Amino acid sequence: MYISAFLFAGFVCLICQIVFDNSKLTPGHITSSVTVIGAILSFLGIYDDIVSKCGAGATVLIANFGHMLYSAGIKGYEEAGFLGIFSELLCSSGIAIVSVIVLSFVFTLIFKARD
């Protein structure tokens, strides 16, 4: 499991680095693209298989955020209809978004940005 997690996460990072080095895309474009790819893979039913085979190698990547948003939207739609999409998205992704904001703030207090 550890080897497959390392290889999968390393492969995704390698692809992103190659795209970054050989294109004019910014890190924000690449991050957004990987998130959308994660949602598409979740829609196709592939991302759950990747998570079961690669474990943490697939769940710590930004692609998992797209998977999480898609899964939450579908769950909300099944439970409460169209408006349930939005309520479930906020409930499920809220923890991830708040933790990123808090950790970003903590790291800005600890480290000094370079010019």
pLDDT at 89: 81
Radius of gyration of the chain (CA): 16
Residue 50 belongs to a domain: yes
pLDDT of residue 85: 85
10-36 pLDDT per residue, tens: 999 999 999 999 999 999 999 999 999
In a domain, 115, yes or no: no
Looking at residue 90, its pLDDT comes to 78
- Per-residue model confidence as pLDDT tens digits over 51-89: 999 988 888 888 888 898 899 889 989 988 888 888 888
What domain range includes position 97? 2-110
What is the number of structural domains in the chain?
1
Query: Quick one: which of 4, 14, 65 has its CA closest to 40?
Result: 65
What number is the average pLDDT over the span 99-114? 87
Helices (H) and strands (E) in the chain, counts: 6, 0
Residue 31's pLDDT is what?
93
Residue 115 is predicted with a pLDDT of 63
pLDDT at 93: 77
Q: Is residue 21 part of a domain?
A: yes
DSSP 61: S
Label residue 44 by pLDDT band (50, 70, 90).
very high
- Residue 94 domain flag: yes
